[in-house]
Amino acid sequence: MRNDLKYQIRSREIVDLYNSIQSQNLILSPYFQRNLVWRESHRRDFIDTILRGFPFPQIFLARGQIDVERLSARQCVVDGQQRLNSIMDFISGRLEVDGRTFSDLTIREKESFLKYEVAVIDFDLDESDERLKEIFKRLNRTYYSLSAIERIASEYSASEFLLTARLLNGDFSKLKITSIDDVSDIDFVAEFDTLSQAREFSIDPGIEEDSWRWINERSDTKYGRLISDAGIFSSYEFSRKIPLMHTLNVMCTHIAGYYNRNDKVRDLLDQYNSSFPEKDKVYNDLEFAADFITKMDLPKQSIWWQKANFFTLACEVSSFAPATNLSPTSVAKNLSSFAANLPHNYTLAAREAVGRVQQRRLRAKYVRAAILEKPLN
């Protein structure tokens, strides 16, 4: 068993942490991190804790290799992203507490806030150390624990299968990459003057340059735009990566057929962990489906923008891709007629236990028949 993990426990003032983030020496969003999930009330309560001088749990940081030219070492946040982002937003004026931001505090209040001592545990780990993910996962087993998809996103961050799902999901929609040394997640790029400065800790070192080049050529996806614009998911669901799990399930169903809940996701992630030879076909088929559904121009109040119904529609349309002479206009008309006279068993299958394989297959049978204008057997 490897037991050489080095760390030190100390305290750092908020002003020191703030300056480290501003100078790009402390990275808030490394490749294994989750999205921001705290609600505004939790963020305000946290800042109020600092203003009152109450303690809060320690944050965990990891230090990378020392840059002998710059005489410095970049760090990343292993646990504490939500807290540090709340602090940054309060200081910048993006977060109010009792109607006040940092600029509204008195001089003494500002000094007390900036001098607040934060308990910090520093790990001596660089970005390629696999223990980073394991520590992150273990630290998030309790309060605001990682959801299934957040664990998957961290564990399989270098997987071509997951990267294809993230690409389709729109995670890289504003990302342009020229080489492996100039790449970072879009939420992370904003913290740096140049992309090359963001290299350390910003991506999983296990991702091949060819994979990033493939993503760069397709980064703005029709599927990603569709799920972003259609109102299928709330902003909070996006913050918890719920759409990514939905996209993974559409991909897995396209490959393996209908199954219970999320049962096939890890199976296929494991199967395609090293490479995903079918990525071009799956990408093209789901992009076709997104383009076809977009051209159907369904009304915003349509049942097809509900999660279970959209799941079935995306799976069924992608199964016809791309060799089909179906017309989006005629299919939209067929589905609208079907929606106006929903069979009782379909209604139940779209409302109760929607992730069970029986309900998924029943919905698929009806939707397929409506798309093709064929009576059910």
Answer whether residue 1 shows pLDDT above 60: no
Is 164 contained in some domain? Answer: no
Is 40 contained in some domain? Answer: yes
Regarding whether 6 and 100 lie in a shared domain, the answer is: yes
Answer whether residue 149 shows pLDDT above 90: no
Is 293 contained in some domain? Answer: yes
Which residue, chain included where needed, has tokens 């005489």?
71
Regarding whether 3 and 119 lie in a shared domain, the answer is: yes
Regarding whether 7 and 128 lie in a shared domain, the answer is: yes
Position 216 confidence tier, pLDDT thresholds 50, 70, 90: confident
pLDDT digits (tens, 9 = 90+) for 316-355: 999 987 667 889 999 999 999 999 999 999 999 999 989 9
Regarding whether 108 and 12 lie in a shared domain, the answer is: yes
Regarding whether 368 and 226 lie in a shared domain, the answer is: yes
Is 282 contained in some domain? Answer: yes
Q: How many domains does one find in the chain?
A: 2
Per the CB < 8 A criterion, the answer to whether 209 and 179 are in contact is: yes
Regarding whether 238 and 129 lie in a shared domain, the answer is: no
- Least confident among 46-50, 119-123, 279-283: 119-123
Is 300 contained in some domain? Answer: yes
Regarding whether 229 and 137 lie in a shared domain, the answer is: no
Regarding whether 11 and 137 lie in a shared domain, the answer is: yes
Is 248 contained in some domain? Answer: yes
Per-residue confidence (pLDDT) for residue 322, from 0 to 100 = 66
Using alpha carbons, list the distances in angstroms from residue 256 to 250, 263, 273.
10, 11, 16
Domain final residue, candidates 141, 164, 198: 141
What length is written for the chain?
377
Domain range holding 284?
222-372
Regarding whether 232 and 110 lie in a shared domain, the answer is: no
Which residue, chain included where needed, has tokens 């799976």?
315
Nearest 5°: the CA angle 81, 87, 88 is 90
Regarding whether 367 and 228 lie in a shared domain, the answer is: yes
Is 345 contained in some domain? Answer: yes
Domain final residue, candidates 119, 141, 163: 141
What backbone phi and psi angles, to 5 degrees, belong to 206? -80, -10
- Least confident among 50-59, 175-184, 286-295: 175-184
Per-residue confidence (pLDDT) for residue 19, from 0 to 100 = 92
Domain final residue, candidates 93, 125, 141: 141
Is 155 contained in some domain? Answer: no
pTM, two decimal places: 0.63
Answer whether residue 178 shows pLDDT above 50: no
Three-state SS annotation for the chain:
CCCCCCEEEEEEEHHHHHHHHHCCCEECCCCCCCCCCCCHHHHHHHHHHHHCCCCCCCEEEEEEEEECCCCEEEEEEEECHHHHHHHHHHHHCCCCECCECHHHCCHHHHHHHHCCEEEEEEECCCCCCCHHHHHHHHHCCCCCCCCHHHHHHHHCCCCHHHHHHHHHHCCCCCCCCCCHHHCCCHHHHCCCCCHHHHCCCCCCCCCCHHHHHHHHCCCCCHHHHHHHHCCCCCHHHHHCCHHHHHHHHHHHHHHHCCCCCCHHHHHHHHHCCCCCCCHHHHHHHHHHHHHHHHHHCCCCCCHHHCHHHHHHHHHHHHHCCCCCCCCHHHHHHHHHHHHHCCCHHHHHHCCCCCCCHHHHHHHHHHHHHHHHCCCCC
CA dihedral 241, 247, 251, 253 (to 10 degrees): 100
